[in-house]
Every structure is written in structure tokens, then in C-alpha cells.
Structure 1
Amino acid sequence: MTNAISDLLRTASERSVPVVRGIADDRLGDPTPCAEYDVRQLVDHLYQVVVNFQALATKKDADFSREAAFVGQGDWRAGFAEETAALVDAWAAPGADQGVTGQMSMPAPLVGRMALGDLTVHAWDLARATGQEYTPDASVVGEVLEAFGELAPTARKMGVFGEERPLPDGGEGATDFDRLLALTGRDPQWQRP
């Protein structure tokens, strides 16, 4: 039996895994729209998110304090795909989307949507940084936009989100994904230098 979160994670992974697979080794030092990370660091961060949110799905604690270093470890692209599939499976388990998570003590559905948001937004970061095409699924964007709207004030205080960016032309013609990127402090028009 699956639940909405696992279905959304599966949809998001079908679009994010190809982006990670498409990262060439000579792009790993390039900047990303996520200013504190270059491509290598952002892949490591996203990999860590994917692994840790598997534990959170099972109501176990996750360790976000360790420095992530997955890139360069064997076939890390295939490893990311495998861990992302494991993330989907973890959130498909009965009860994963119920109750509260480990040390985060947050409602499980919201935590699942946090993982969904990272997978979606960071795939865009990586695609932009490495010159790849990326279009997230509209249903995923809708779920993440709602969840991140709720989380944004706390996420900004914790330094997880930057200040919300204004949209060009007052948001006229902006997509929901543009709004999501701006909400997280990103410039939807960001281009590689």
C-alpha cells in the first residue's frame, strides 16, 4: 500500500535522479543557485537528505551534523538513484506518514513534504548549475509550495531558507515553481556564470 507522500516522492525522483546522473565530473566545482554550496557540496547535501529522511520515515533519529561526502565514493550517481528509491519505499511503508518523526518531533506528513521539497528544489539548483533541463511535476510543486509556505518563517530563522525574493513584474506571469523558488530565497532567473 502506498500513500500520497511516497507517490509524490516517486514522481519527484523520476525527474531529479536524471539530473544527478547527468552531472559531469568537471562541473562538480561549479557554483549553484544555493550560494553556500558548489555542485559537489550540494549533491552531498541532497544525498544526505535522501538517506536521513529514510530514517525519519521509520520514526528513527537522523544525523544531519556529520559532513556528507558521497561524491567520489564508487558509482555515486547510481548510489543516489538507489537511495532515492529507498526513500520512496520508506515513505510507502504503512504508518510512515502518520504520527511524528524522530528528534524533529514534527508531523510525519510535513516531514515527508520537506524531503519532497529538497528533492525538487535542489534538483533545480543542480540542473541550473550544470546546464541541464529540469521541469518539476505540477502536483509536486503544489504540495511543496503549501508545506514550505508553512515552514518558511522558521526555516528563515534557522538559516535554511534565504529571504524571500521578489518576483519580476510583481509576480505577473510567474509560475507556482517560480513562487516556490522565490519563497526559498532563490532567484528563479538564476543562470550559471
Structure 2
Amino acid sequence: MKIGFIGSGNIGQAVAANAIRAGYSVVMSNSRGPQTLAGLVRKLGPKAEAATAEQAAQKGDLIVVTVPLYALPELNTAGTAGKTLIDTMNYYPGRDGRIEALDKGTTTTSELTAAHFPDAHVVKAFNSIFASEIETTGKSGDDRHRRALPIAGDDPEARQQVAELLNAIGFDTVDAGPLHEGFRFENGTPAYCAHADRTQLTELLKQAKE
């Protein structure tokens, strides 16, 4: 399977590196053009290539959108229809500006992403772990105390696809359910960046207040 990355920052690089070790291939992109990713591609190895964001979406069987939230409105939606799209974004008003619907709690970051990519199957994941810990806290599937990460999405098959990726790179999954439930692990909640196994994380998700 090939994963297309729209954004190649810390989270994108960490997920890509782990995915390659798990047998996936990756297509990396950023806002500055594929020529600026030559060093990263060399570092990631032969299963990585650089492309434009549109090409990464078109080539990817699975897509990871990992850019600052303020950049979301500018993203091209070409190549995303019918595909599972992982949203890693968080809302930081000091960086992203105030977004009234998020401040009022009438929507979530990933629901904004789904509105921008209406034909993709959006799953919220990787927003509640530090980039450095993606590569350092994953464990093999036979470890009884693996760290769990939460996901949310409206399409059950898409959530299962993301859970399979998480398992492949060393994490258990707690499925929070529909996309709106992603509020339970946005920044500022008890579950955000928690080092927890599946049982512990399930309890932390319950503590979030909408």
C-alpha cells in the first residue's frame, strides 16, 4: 500500500518513517515543491518519493493531511475522492487565528477537514501524540502493554484501515466512533498526548467535556 502525505513536517516524517519500516511506500509533499524534499526522500530510502500535493493525493491509496490548520482552506482536493484521509491537525488559536465554530464547540477540527474534502472518508488520528513519540513508543503486536492512540471517523471501513496502519507501526487503537467524537482527544483534553494503554485511554476519552 502507498500512503500520500500532504505535508511533510515532524508528524508526517515520523509517520512516514514508521510506515516504511512496516512495509508501506510513501509519497511526500509540501507547499514548497518536491525539489525541496530531496534530502528527506534520501533519508527515508527507496520506498519514498517526492511529489506535489496533488500527485501525492492521487498516488496514495491512503492519504495523510498534516499541515497547520490555517492552511486547510488552501489545500487542493484533487485525487482524494473515495479515499481514506487521515487528519492529524489541531487547533492553536495563537497560530491559526480564531475560528468561531471551534471556539463555540459547534464543530471539530476534523469536521472542518471533512467539509473541505467532502468526497473523502476522513479519520482523525495522530493528532494526540508528539511526533518524536511516534517513532519511540510503538511496540510489537505481541506486547501486552502497547500504547493506544484514539481515532474517530464516520466511515467504519476507513476507521478500520487506519487501525490497521496503527497496528502495523506499533500502536493499539481506541475507536472513539463518529468524526464529531474527535473532540474527546483534541488538545486540552485528558486524552491528548496521554501515554495510556487501551483500557486507560478509553477512560480518558470519557472525561472530555464538549
- Higher relative contact order, chain-length normalized (CA < 8 Å, sep 6+): 1
* TM value normalised by structure 1: 0.30
Relative to its length, the structure with more strand (as a share) is 2
- Please give the TM-score of this superposition, normalised by the length of structure 2: 0.28
Q: Which structure has greater helix proportion?
A: 1
